[in-house]
Structure 1
Amino acid sequence: MNSDTSPLSVRQRTELETRFSGCRCGRVSGEGMHLYRVMSGDDELLCRVSGAFRHAAAKKNEYPVTGDWVALRGDGGLIEGVLTREACIGRASAGGTTEQQILAANVDLAFIVAGLDGGRNLTRRGIERYLVMVRESGAVPLLVLNKLDLCADIAGSLQEAEEAAPDVRQLLTSTVTGDGIDELIDSIGPEHTAVMLGPSGVGKSSLINALLGEQRLAEGDTRQSDHRGRHTSTSRSLVLLPGGGSLIDTPGLRELRLWAGEGSLDEVFHDLEYYARNCRFRDCTHQGEPDCAVQKALVDGALSHERYESYLELRKELDYLHRRNDEQARAEEVRRWKQISKSVKRFYKNKKG
């Protein structure tokens, strides 16, 4: 990857030339414990962040992630900074704190992969959840229905996927028969970056090997008892495709806690929002208010109860996330002013002394 012809945005290129003058550009292709694989020109380097970077970074999500464009000092080896991210796939981090965990950066296209081999690999709610995450990033979603050769009910699966992701392009694929692989390759432009998303067992690694034309990634089996997949990808990695473009592989997520705004949820459930425009009250929650157009659509059968329940579940989760963020922001503001007050008191105490 030649940094002179790399697909940097105008903003990123300007930032490299001004804020990081004298640095060369590289792209993070993998992450380890305090080490990063970075592609720059024809080289792939093992890099660390500089001391100045560690001192300036206030949050964990400011550190490099797979897909980031970074500024390298000298011969490489030291990352001086991360160029402004254009589009990020992220989720809410696990644990007591509420902050965003970025899974992949500078992504143009997101493949949401679902398995057609039965079991729990294809669920409407799972597709809807991934779709909210992708809409929040700004990347273009593409629903990849994989393992076509093992599908017992193609028409039923297509209908279920359409109900979960209306107006999202669908692609049926099989790495066994080769169906859909050429279309998948053609969907990635020569200077675009795609990311593979989905639970374990849906065949993400097999699809990537098919796109590469070689067995580069390990492929796992799916348990026949419950059709649950084993984690073959344990970390995120970026690979270059033979015809141009890049692809980021992600491990199957055991837990996908959303990090998104109301706009992304409304975009995914635009069919429900269509009816919501006719509700009597602008702040209608669609849960019992008078003259609720959403409730009327449910009674008339124009809107499915399953989709309505999914919307309420995701809305409740995002409302909780936003409350936690507000609480943390208020607590941080209180701590900041306490620290300022202590500093002022010490100043006057020393002045009197």
Structure 2
Amino acid sequence: MKGFIAILAFLCLGVISAIYIGFGTDVKSEPKAIDVEMEGLNEKYVLKFSHVVAENTPKGLAAAMFAKLVREKTDGWVEVQIFPNGVLYDAQEEFRALLENEVHLIAPAFSEVTVHDPNWMVMDLPFVFEDELEVKRAFEGELGKKLFESIETRGYKGVAYWDNGFKQFTNRIRPVVKPRDVEGIAVRVMPSDVLMDTYKHLGASPSTHSFNEVYETLSSGQIDGTENTFSNIYSKGFYKQQEYMTVTNHNYLGYAVLMNAEFWDALPLDHQKNIEDAMGEVTDWLREYAKSHNQEMLEKLKGGNSLEIHFLTEEEKQLWRNELTPVYQKYSNVIGEELVNELLYRED
């Protein structure tokens, strides 16, 4: 990450004190789930999986694949029912529904998780990942472990990190190349303090809207721009309401697959293992598919002639990093040095 380590070295040296948001260190050595070999295995379990994106997106396809594998691995004793496109709950309502066992699986974007656990704001710091390999190493390393430990203190069971892709900036007002080009543009962001402050610092007017309201708010002129992956920009038709797209790769849009911790603990161990095996297979598949699918959607957007597209150069990205130094400074203090350092100084 060219130039970025130097910036954050300065920032972390300047941090006098950090607000400590604790990570649970108590790891239960013994599972609470049923450990009698056959107990609970003659009972059918139905798991409701709620998410807010289209069925043909990477997350939508991964959810369907997961349901199929779980059914196969449990000989039909565990059924995963998929509810896409926010038909049951929007992105924030899902968290309450999960804790109350109205649904049993959700896969919110990282930014949505920040509302319930501020530690996750570390994932919304802009321009910290260079490519998908860096993202993979972060998920599978200490950062991923610590984030799941943190969310589990809130009653959620972290199951997997799912990929989508890097976010890009689209709008209908003007081409965006330099940081101040976004000044005055009304931008939809997910409910993350880091995202809100990032765009406010750049002079934009950020606001939050549920994912399934974005097309309507674009159509009505309530907002001028969005940040999203190629996949979501294309599948949701956002490009039809936009004129300009800047390929920034400024944030990574990934998902945290979560379950209710008590519900998970009550599952028979054999079912837990089969669910984990199915989730592992899907996660590996999704990492490769999301990358190729987003590239395919980029080619469709380029070929549609409806968007003027600019790809940020490395020099232009460095201008953005320099401009956003106050945002890095603020959230190094809020998130805490340990977690920020885990992201910025991980071994690549």
TM-score under structure 1 length normalisation: 0.27
| Greater Cα radius of gyration, structure 1 or 2 | 1
Higher relative contact order (CA 8 A, sep 6+): 2
